[in-house]
C-alpha cells in the first residue's frame, strides 16, 4: 500500500506534512518528491514510470500558481491523481485551484481545497479502502471518532448555555 506525494517545489512541504503524517498513521507507505513539472519534467517522468511497478495506488500532487503538476502527472498515468492547490501567490491559491480543477475531458484530476492536504490523504485512503479492508476499518473508526468529538463539543455548548 503506497501513495506518492509529488510537490512542485520543496517550499510546498510544510503544507503537505499533514497528508504525509495522516497516511503514515494508517500504515501506508509514502513516497515524497519535489519535482517541478516545468523545471524537472524528465525526473518527474522517470518517477512516474517507477510508480507503475512499485505498488503506488494513488498520487497526490501539490502545486501553486499555474499548478500544472497535477495535470502533467495525470497525463502520464491512469492511476488516480488528487490535486492540492497551494496558496502562495498574490491570488491566494485561487490561480492554483482553477488551474487544477479545469482539466480537459479525458484527463481528470480530483481536487481538494486550497492547502487541503489532509483531505487529499483521506480521499486517497477512501480510494484504497475499496481494495484494502484494513484501511476501510481504520477510516470508519476515524469517522466515528470525529462524530464523537463533534457530539462532545455540542454537549459542552449545550451545558454552557442552559
* 97 lies in the same domain as 160: no
145/90 same-domain check: no
Express each pLDDT in 123-139 by its tens digit.
999 999 999 999 999 99
Mean pLDDT of 6-18: 96
Global confidence as pTM: 0.94
What angle is formed at CA 112 by the lines to CA 106 and CA 118, rounded to 5 degrees? 130
Residues 33 and 102 in one domain: yes
**What's the rounded Cα separation, in Å, for the pair 16 and 90?**
20
What CATH number should be reported for the domain holding residue 73?
3.40.50.1970
In this prediction, residue 90 carries a pLDDT of 79
Question: Using 50, 70 and 90 to split pLDDT, how confident is the model at 89?
Answer: confident
Domain extent, residue 122, equals 2-131
Please list the alpha-helical segments (H only) found in 11-114.
13-25, 41-50, 69-74, 94-101
Residues 87 and 150 placed together within one structural domain of the fold: no
Amino acid at each position: 500500500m503506497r501513495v506518492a506525494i509529488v510537490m512542485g517545489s520543496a517550499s510546498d512541504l510544510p503544507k503537505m506534512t499533514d497528508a504525509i503524517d495522516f497516511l503514515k498513521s494508517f500504515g501506508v507507505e509514502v513516497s515524497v518528491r519535489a519535482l517541478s513539472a516545468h523545471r524537472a519534467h524528465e525526473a518527474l517522468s522517470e518517477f512516474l514510470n517507477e510508480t507503475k511497478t512499485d505498488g503506488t495506488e494513488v498520487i497526490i500532487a501539490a502545486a501553486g500558481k499555474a499548478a500544472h503538476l497535477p495535470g502533467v502527472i495525470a497525463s502520464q498515468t491512469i492511476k488516480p491523481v488528487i490535486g492540492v492547490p497551494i496558496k502562495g501567490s498574490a491570488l491566494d491559491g485561487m490561480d492554483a485551484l482553477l488551474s487544477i480543477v479545469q482539466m480537459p475531458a479525458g484527463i481528470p484530476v480530483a481536487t481538494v481545497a486550497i492547502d487541503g492536504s489532509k483531505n487529499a490523504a483521506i480521499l486517497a485512503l477512501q480510494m484504497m479502502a475499496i481494495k484494502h479492508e484494513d484501511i476501510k476499518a481504520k477510516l470508519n473508526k476515524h469517522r466515528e471518532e470525529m462524530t464523537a468529538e463533534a457530539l462532545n463539543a455540542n454537549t459542552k455548548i449545550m451545558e454552557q448555555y442552559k
